Amino acid sequence: MTKGIFLGLITADIVYYVPHHPYNNQKLKAERQQSFAGGPATNAAVTFAAFGNRAALITGLGRHLLARIAKKDLAEHQVELIDSTDQPKRPPILSAIMVDLSNGERSIVSSNTDFRKLRPDAINASILEDADILLLDGYYLPQAIQMAEWARLRHIPVVLDGGSWKEGLETLLPFVDYAVCSNVFAAPGCNDSTSVIAYLKSMGIENIAITRDEAPIIAYCQGKTTEVPVMRIKAVDTLGAGDIFHGAFCHYILQNDFLVSLERAAEVASMSCTSLGTRSWIEQEKFI
């Protein structure tokens, strides 16, 4: 069975579905609420596992009561948790999310990993022994860089989820095989997709994609830039679309070329936007 290693952020997401985003000083009633695990690497791992693959997630969660939201979700979705937080008693990173039901747009408030690190023994080369792919989301960068170096030595493909630019990321880039970035990934000195692609190319990355919500994906491979179409859907919740895209991409790239993998991952991600939350698309099983 195919195995993916996912290293990066986990959060406990509290999601409110609202008729519109609140005005200043407004008290707003949510139409619905949900809670589940979040974070780019986490959602990607859940997605990868949903295809019947093995997924292991290296992250920092801890054993605070609030961490149970995330822990239960991972267990329900067959993701193996390798929890290496250096502060097990502190609350997990909480993410407060509002989704505007009129258009599916989400806004998110959360802290990051600035005050939470992984223990020095969080990783070792043997974790990669039976792995087919490694996904990194730019969090826990020292460990991400070390894992990517080991993966390169073993010819295991490395996928970067470039959600946003993070300080120090330039050290990781030379070990990346596939950079799949969002539209807000602002690499140093870059202000549009052309300059981001040029920058990533200059770092030695040969397969690059930039996802842009409902707009076609910009893809660079084999020396050429093209567009990959995105399905037109009625979006009710775009939360985690990029993360789901990355998990599906990791699945498809093991059997397909780059452009086909992007196209299929986009179908899964777009389909996930038609239902509430980051998990209900899995039950629909339309993607199989």
Ligand X SMILES: Nc1ncnc2c1ncn2[C@@H]1O[C@H](COP(=O)(O)OP(=O)(O)O)[C@@H](O)[C@H]1O
The residues of the shown chain that bind ligand X, judged by CB under 6 A, are: 163, 182-183, 211-214, 217, 230, 233, 235, 238, 241-242, 245, 266, 269-270, 273
E strand intervals along 101-155: 106-110, 133-136
Q: Pick what 263 binds: Mg ion, ligand X, none; C-beta below 5 to 8 Å, kind-dependent.
A: none
Cα–Cα distance measured from residue 180 to residue 68, given in angstroms and rounded to the nearest whole number? 30
Read off φ and ψ for residue 94, nearest 5 degrees.
-95, 140
Closest CB 182 distance from ligand X, rounded Å: 4
Cα–Cα distance measured from residue 126 to residue 77, given in angstroms and rounded to the nearest whole number? 24
Closest CB 65 distance from ligand X, rounded Å: 29
Q: Pick what 269 binds: Mg ion, ligand X, none; C-beta below 5 to 8 Å, kind-dependent.
A: ligand X
- Window 86-145: residues binding Mg ion (CB under 5 A): none
Closest CB 164 distance from Mg ion, rounded Å: 12
| CB of 95 or CB of 270, closer to ligand X | 270
Q: Tokens 């195995």 — which residue?
A: 3
Pairing of strands 215-221, 224-228: antiparallel
Closest CB 104 distance from ligand X, rounded Å: 6
Based on the shown chain and the rule CB under 5 A, indicate whether residue 149 belongs to the binding site for Mg ion: no
Cα–Cα distance measured from residue 217 to residue 230, given in angstroms and rounded to the nearest whole number? 7
- Window 193-222: residues binding Mg ion (CB under 5 A): 213
The residue of the chain with the least Cβ separation from Mg ion equals: 213
Q: Which residues contact 68 (CB under 8 A, 6 or more apart)?
A: none
Residues in binding contact with Mg ion, number by CB under 5 A: 1
Expressed in percent and rounded to 5, the helix, strand and coil fractions of the chain are 35, 25, 40
CA 250 to chain centre: 11
| CB of 105 or CB of 206, closer to ligand X | 105
Q: Pick what 270 binds: Mg ion, ligand X, none; C-beta below 5 to 8 Å, kind-dependent.
A: ligand X
- Residues of the shown chain interacting with Mg ion in the complex, contacts defined by CB under 5 A: 213
